[in-house]
Structures are given as structure tokens and as C-alpha cells.
Amino acid sequence: MNQFAIARFLQSYAVLIMVVVLIVVLSTMSDSFLTVRNLLNILNQNAPLAIMASAMTLVIIAGGFDLSVGAIFAMGAVCSAWIALHVNPFLGLALAPLIGLGLGTVNGLVITMLRVHSFLATIATSLIFKGIAIVISDGRLIPVRMAEFTWLGREKIAGVFNAVWIMLIFAVILTFVLNRTTFGRKVFSVGGNEEAAILSGIRTDRIKIATFALAGFAAGLASAIAVSRVSLGQASAGTGMELQAIAAVILGGTSIYGGVGAVWRSVAGVLLLALINNGFNILNADPFYRDLTTGLVILAAIGISAGGKRR
């Protein structure tokens, strides 16, 4: 019984244990690590990824995969910058999440109407979205140097960057939705046993579409924050972020088979990836070893949580 309890604890908290270990190690190795300034910077830099990983958690719990969020991020960045430049900077920021919501809904509709695996469908739509982003931007950078546009990514409230506040609020809302609402319960049931969910009268297609719409919304929101921070929209923004988001979710112990997972653990997964990067920077370590180290840490976390699942 005791072994079981330990195993379950490891499976749920492996990612947190790794984060704590890294924090302890880094703070003993460098004085500049454990400072409010450095920690807030880490959070700020990774807020867009954490927002995307939070929403990706729901997609994966419902048994799906979204490889197009990087491309939606690019669409959001380009459209946001274009609208800011040609129409209104506030409108540009406000429309990015809605454009993401629309593209995510398209993903959901394609997957449920064509009955194809989300993995395949989102590979295709990601190319389409990225292609549209390139056409809109005409393959060029769109600089937006206006205070009305950059406030979102650069300013602070109560000493903390706006991005961090948005990320925290978003993650808390999603946690609440997942655990306390009927929608959240249905998300778990669709990923856990779709057949049983259908026989329980749940319209599982609608739930799936909603999770993809949410992932799109999150990617759009993340892109608004990021593009506002760098005051530059470009179609190559967000490249690779879909894989980082999925890696963070899996690092958090959310099952790729669906039915099991938690949002906060995905945020912790983002933090873990971020700490490794930060460690390389403040220790002035050879960046050639960065990918190797990241890979080993991911493997260790997956190993710990897999150990918990074994009987």
C-alpha cells in the first residue's frame, strides 16, 4: 500500500520535484539566480508558452493533439501587427485571441467532420495557417513601435509584468473549468472512454471542438503578448512552440492517452524547461550542451512518472 502511495505521489509530483531540485541546485551555484528579478523574468519570458501549454492540457486530456498552435501563434502575431499598423493598435491586440479562437474552431470542425486523427489534421492546418501568415505579411517583418501596442507585453501591475498576471489568471480559470464544471467533467470522459461518453448522452464532437477552439484562443492570446513585447510581427514567430507546449504537458504527467491530467502541472512543466535554459545563461555554461541537458531532464521526468504507473 505504501509503495502504491509513493508511486502515485511520484506520478503526480515528478515535475514539481524536478523544479525544486533545479531551483536548489541553481541557487547554490549562482548568486544571481534566486533573485526576485530573475525569477520574474523567467516567468515573464515563458508566460506565452505557459498559456499555450495550459490550453493544450485540455486538448490532450480529451484525447487529442494540436500541432497547429505554433502556426496559429504566427497568424496571431502577423494579424495583430498588421491591424495595429493599419487600423488600430488596441484592436490588433484584442483580435489576436479571437483569430486564434476561429482557427482553433476550424481545427475542431475538420477533425470531427472528416473523422481524422487530430495529429494528422493539425499538421495539415498548421501548414495552411502558416502559409496564410506568410501571405499576409508578404514574407516581411511588420514593426509596430507604438506605446498603445507595446504596453501589454512590457508594462507591469504591482511590480509584476502584465504577461505573468494574464498567465496566472488563465491557468487558474482553466483549472477551475476542468475540475468544477460540467464541461471539464465531459473533457475527462471524452478522453477516458469516448464510447461510454457517447452512450451517456454527451455530444463528444462538441467537446472536442471546444478544446481545439480553446487551444487556438490561447495561442492567439500568447501571440498578442509576445508580439506586443517585441513590437514586431512576423510569420516565423511561434515556430516550434507547439512541440514545446506538448513537451511541457507531457512533462507534467498528463497522459497522452487522454482522460488524466492537470493544468498546473503543465505550467510546472514549462517552468522546468525554462529553468534549464536560465541555468545555462546565468552559469555561462556551454550552450552546445543545452539541448542534450533538456533532453535528459525530460527523459528523467518521464521516467519518474512512468515508474509511478507500473504495477
Partner 1 sequence: MDSDTSPVPAIRTTNVGVTFGGVPALREVSVDIHRGEIHGLIGENGAGKSTLGKVIGGYHAATSGGMEVFGEPALAWDPPAALARGVAMMHQELQLVPALTVAQNVFLGIEDQNWGMLRPTEADRLRRLMETSGFSLDPHAVVADLSIADQQKIEILRALARDARVIVMDEPTSSLSKDEVTQLHQSMQALRDEGRTVIYVSHFLEDILAVTDRVTVLRDGEHVKTGPTSQETKASLVSAMLGGGKTETPFPQKRPPSDSEIVLDVAGLQSDAGVRNATLTVGRGEIVGLIGLVGSGRSEIARAIVGADPASAGTVSLNGTPYENRSLAVSTERGIVMVPEDRRKHGLVMTLPVRGNMTLPHLTHFSAGGLIRRRLERARVTELIDYFRVRPTAIDGDVSTFSGGNQQKVLIGKWLLENPQVVILDEPSRGVDVGARERIHEAIAEMAAGGAAVLLISSEIEEVLGLAHRAYLVDKGVTVEEIDPNQSDEAGVLSALFAHQASAEIKKAP
Residues of this chain that interact with partner 1 (CB under 8 A) are 1-4, 180-183, 185-186, 188-189, 191-193, 195-203, 255, 258-260, 311
> Which CB, 10 or 78, lies closer to partner 1?
10
Q: List, as one string, the DSSP characters of 240-296.
A: THHHHHHHHHHHTT--TTSS---HHHHHHHHHHHHHHHHHHHHTT--GGGHHHHHHH
Least separation in angstroms between residue 215's CB and partner 1 is 20
What is the Cα–Cα distance from 253 to 9, expressed in whole angstroms?
Answer: 11
Least separation in angstroms between residue 305's CB and partner 1 is 15
Least separation in angstroms between residue 172's CB and partner 1 is 15
What is the Cα–Cα distance from 281 to 275, expressed in whole angstroms?
Answer: 10
Least separation in angstroms between residue 2's CB and partner 1 is 7
CA dihedral 64, 70, 76, 78 (to 10 degrees): -150
Write out the H or E segment, with its range, that includes residue 71.
helix 69-86
> Which CB, 201 or 240, lies closer to partner 1?
201
Least separation in angstroms between residue 204's CB and partner 1 is 11
> Which CB, 10 or 50, lies closer to partner 1?
10
> Which CB, 258 or 279, lies closer to partner 1?
258
Least separation in angstroms between residue 262's CB and partner 1 is 13
Least separation in angstroms between residue 194's CB and partner 1 is 9
CA distances from 233 to 84, 137, 173, 238, 301 (A): 10, 8, 28, 11, 35
Output Rg (C-alpha) for the chain, integer angstroms: 20
Residue type at position 245: A
Which DSSP symbol is given to 88? -
Phi, psi of 284 (to 5 degrees): 55, 40
What is the Cα–Cα distance from 177 to 187, expressed in whole angstroms?
Answer: 10
Exposed / middle / buried, residue 311 (Cβ in 10 Å: 0-12, 13-18, 19+): exposed
